[in-house]
Amino acid sequence: MHLLPALCVFWLLALALALEEDSPLDCVPRRSVPYHRNNAHLFHEKGVFNYSTMLLREDLDLLLLGAREAVYALDLNDISKKLASVKWEVTQKQNDDCKNKGKDPETECKNYIRILHQTQDNRMYVCGTNAFEPECDYMSYADGNLTLEKRREDGKGKCPFDPFQRYASIMVENSLYSATSMNFLGSEPVLMRSSSVAIRTEFKSSWLNEPNFVSMAQMPESYMSEAGDDDKVYLFFSETAVECDCYNKLVVSRVARVCKGDLGGQRTLQKKWTSFLKARMDCPVLESQLPYIIQDTYRSCDPQQPWKDCLFYAIFTPQLDTSDLSAVCAYRVSDISRVFAEGKYKTPVPVETSFVKWVMYSGDVPVPRPGACINNAARKMGINQSLHLPDRTLQFIKDRPLMDQAIQPIGEKPVLVRKGATFTRILVNQVQAADGEKYRVMFIGTEEGTLLKAVNYDGEMFIIEEVQIFQPPEPIKILKFSNVTGQLYAGSDYGAAQIPLATCGRSSSCLDCVLARDPYCGWDKAVGKCLVLSNSQRELIQSVKEGNASLCPHADPVKPMNISIWPGGNLKLHCPSSSTLAKTSWKRDGSPLTPSTRHQLLQDALLILNATDTDGGRYRCLSVELSKAGEYTTTVAEYQVSVASAESKDGRLIFPQAQMDGPSVAGLQAIVGLLLVSFLALLAWNFYKGHLPLPWNCRKKNREQSKETPEKGGLNTTVTYQDALRPALAEDKPLVSGTSNGSNNHHTGGEAAFSAPGEENDGPKVLLPSLQYIDDESEI
């Protein structure tokens, strides 16, 4: 009976291993760049944290950076230069009130800048959590100064109360679209438009059920629309699934959208969205049983293509800590729009067990279609705005905002899956390569403060490099890109960083430049450098799809380095490889070197232990890297190792001679001489001050003490050197007392006073010097 479950478990383990083997988890960065201050321009101000809100003002050459209780205006070309700043701190009363509500006064009861958008009159709209009392204000930049206008507005529904709660916002024609919570407890989630006509979602679990908001984006779907459609605002979030018939809560990823011209209903859904629809988003990762959760999105559009060809790139992470995988899925805007425009709805159905089950709605759909924007068809029916929609349509969308069909990614699989640091933010930039094609390069921030640069070449996941941006490692919380400077801007709790898109200078050879498969870079044969394509007028060598480096000219031979080692010594020969995808091998005198206990092959070196005469020769380190075009081998390092002889012809041993001349030896001699002079001066000073007695004074003092001792009597008597010898005749090393006379192996001790038991404190005392061991019988 117990054999069948055991076989099932064994089969499941085998299946899991097979999936693991077939999975693309070996997608590691070709180059890993450790932290260095030259990796990026950094900005950080002491005592200020949480640099997680950014606004690019390319018209002013500024990066507006929102942090905790401060907003900074930084030079867009070099953000390490602060041009202006303004403080927005909470008052003591606000801090006390926040503390009385049970919040931490040092972290939560501060003003975290969360909203930072440009208005049509070139001012900035800024909102902060303000010690759990969110407020908004207008800010201007003029004459090198940032100024808050102090026109404080209520920030409820615009800015989150909790500084650590996820939110989303976007400014469209001076109307702020925000997704956050309306109350202190965070129990009233809302998608709201703040304008002359404020519109928000219903407080129903079928609309928003414990959501975690991610991001928002606008799509100009009215542009050249044959149907006379309206622009849309998309909201990406995750929430607890109401349609799931399961015992535990299941979190799913969603995309919702509303129409820009929505004014709410006349009677039903007054001042509520009449166009709010939502659908599930899937990102299948290795046949995972639990859906992955969306964390961030980026809208990528080609300016020369219509909006339907735009893509949404989204990063996903597992909802349980059982996996350390992260994924990127890409979605077509046209696919999302089609689900909302043509898809079936889900409807709640009560069942006998007293809970609601959501199933696909198969009844009649009202006209105009529930959730649709006002278009030409509606206008022909005399419906020119949402206020004219019939109650039947409005009641339908009020009860059924969820679509039945899930939105699938392009190819129904991720464009990138990686095992390691969790993805946090994503940004996509489109670049034209030397082959004339355009490629979308993904820049992905992680929880460890690194930035990944990756491309998907016709289904092949390829990570060009991973760069450590922040040290100590801090999660990247925001990513922005400037078309003017061609730079990336990242923010974390620690600070902000400015990173270039192209880092061609990290490749020092043609082979390395081409195998990097970076669409931004190519090898210039004329100057012998890896350059940015847009900065060169000549044709550069590049092969991004295949990594074909056969067009590269032959590299100059590596100059061997002469190294000597003595018999029995250890030697480490370094072999730094520019690629983590390459495998290194060693040759000695042209023959492959076999690893052994004395020849250990490390990742970037060869270790020779306990060298013998046979270890001499020419060592070459070879780097072998495989690409789709073939296998490429290059010599990274070369060493001429000689083992010095330890014996001469006449049989006498020869040892290495110390260097007796040269600048290093002269310097060492000077240091030793200086230390000796300093020691003698210090010794003389101590003798002069009396801290150390002179030798002749010690002998004189001993003779004086010997003369004075017999003259003194009574119980208060000092025991002399000779008296202390009497009770120790039978011992080899008797205990003695006395003052040091300068002989070796003696320790000087002070006198100690002893009182007999029962005596009073003012009674006679015997003063005994400290006892010492005699190591030499001649002293007795």
Question: How many Å apart are CA 496 and CA 702, to the nearest integer?
Answer: 75
The confidence band for 259, taking pLDDT boundaries of 50, 70 and 90, is: very high
Say yes or no: 251 and 394 in one domain. Answer: yes
The confidence band for 546, taking pLDDT boundaries of 50, 70 and 90, is: very high
Closest CA to 235 of 262, 208, 261: 208
Does pLDDT of 107 surpass 90?
yes
Say yes or no: 227 and 358 in one domain. Answer: yes
Phi, psi of 748 (to 5 degrees): -80, 135
* pLDDT the model gives residue 288: 81
Q: Looking at residues 343-361, what average pLDDT do you find?
A: 86
* pLDDT the model gives residue 775: 42
Residue 27, domain member (yes or no): no
* pLDDT the model gives residue 89: 96
Q: Last residue of a domain, which of 643, 666, 688?
A: 643
Residue 77, domain member (yes or no): no
Say yes or no: 748 and 607 in one domain. Answer: no
Residue 550, domain member (yes or no): no
Does pLDDT of 680 surpass 80?
yes
Task: Count other Cβ atoms within 10 Å, centred on residue 644.
Answer: 15
Q: Looking at residues 321-344, what average pLDDT do you find?
A: 93
Q: What angle do CA 196, 201, 205 make, to 5 degrees?
A: 165
Cβ contact 417:285 at 8 Å:
yes
Closest CA to 59 of 489, 500, 482: 482
Say yes or no: 213 and 303 in one domain. Answer: yes
Q: Looking at residues 405-425, what average pLDDT do you find?
A: 95
Q: Which amino acid is at 324?
A: D
CATH number at residue 250: 2.130.10.10
What does 324-388 look like in DSSP terms, one character per residue? -EEEEEEEEHHHHHHHHHHPPBEEEEE-TTSSEEEEE--SPPPSSPTTPPP-HHHHHTT--SGGG
The confidence band for 245, taking pLDDT boundaries of 50, 70 and 90, is: confident
The confidence band for 10, taking pLDDT boundaries of 50, 70 and 90, is: very low
Reading the block at residue 630, the tokens are 């073939």
Range of 313's domain? 201-420
The confidence band for 121, taking pLDDT boundaries of 50, 70 and 90, is: very high
Say yes or no: 240 and 376 in one domain. Answer: yes
The lowest-confidence range among 253-262, 273-282, 394-403, 588-597 is 588-597
Task: Count other Cβ atoms within 10 Å, centred on residue 614.
Answer: 9
* pLDDT the model gives residue 666: 64
Say yes or no: 720 and 607 in one domain. Answer: no
Q: Which residues contact 306 (CB under 8 A, 6 or more apart)?
A: 223, 224
Q: Looking at residues 202-231, what average pLDDT do you find?
A: 94
Cβ contact 620:634 at 8 Å:
no
Say yes or no: 627 and 718 in one domain. Answer: no
What does 130-188 look like in DSSP terms, one character per residue? TTTS-EEEEEEEETTEEEE----EE-TTTS-SSTTS--EEEEETTEEEEEEESSTTS--
Question: How many Å apart are CA 319 and CA 446, to the nearest integer?
Answer: 16
Phi, psi of 60 (to 5 degrees): -110, 5
Say yes or no: 621 and 721 in one domain. Answer: no
* pLDDT the model gives residue 705: 46
- 705-760 per-position pLDDT tens digit: 444 444 433 333 333 333 333 333 333 433 333 334 443 443 433 333 333 333 34
What does 593-609 look like in DSSP terms, one character per residue? PPP-SSEEE-SSEEEE-
Does pLDDT of 650 surpass 70?
no
Residue 520, domain member (yes or no): no
Closest CA to 579 of 525, 639, 506: 506
CA atoms within 13 A on the CB side of 76: 19
* pLDDT the model gives residue 769: 38
The lowest-confidence range among 316-325, 492-501, 513-522, 744-753 is 744-753
Domain count, the chain: 3
Residue 526, domain member (yes or no): no
Give CA 516 to chain center in angstroms. 23
Cβ density class 372-388: b for 16+ within 10 Å, e for less? bbbbeebeeeebeebeb
Closest CA to 201 of 246, 248, 129, 254: 254
> Within the chain, how many helices (H) and strands (E) appear?
8, 46
Does pLDDT of 763 surpass 50?
no
Beta bridge pairs of residue 142: 145
Q: Last residue of a domain, which of 401, 420, 439?
A: 420
**What rounded mean pLDDT belongs to the chain?**
84
DSSP state of 757: T
Question: How many Å apart are CA 776 and CA 745, to the nearest integer?
Answer: 9
Closest CA to 56 of 48, 46, 44, 66: 66
* pLDDT the model gives residue 694: 61
Question: How many Å apart are CA 109 and CA 759, to the nearest integer?
Answer: 69
Q: Which amino acid is at 11?
A: W
The H-or-E segment that residue 688 falls in is: helix 663-689
Terminal Cα-to-Cα distance of the chain (whole angstroms): 92
CATH number at residue 567: 2.60.40.10
* pLDDT the model gives residue 764: 38
* pLDDT the model gives residue 109: 96
Say yes or no: 313 and 402 in one domain. Answer: yes
Q: Last residue of a domain, which of 643, 659, 674?
A: 643
The lowest-confidence range among 132-136, 158-162, 550-554 is 550-554
Say yes or no: 336 and 221 in one domain. Answer: yes
Beta bridge pairs of residue 490: 479, 497
Cβ contact 622:636 at 8 Å:
yes
- 445-484 per-position pLDDT tens digit: 999 999 999 999 999 999 999 999 999 999 999 999 999 9
Cβ contact 478:488 at 8 Å:
no
Q: Looking at residues 622-627, what average pLDDT do you find?
A: 92
* pLDDT the model gives residue 355: 75
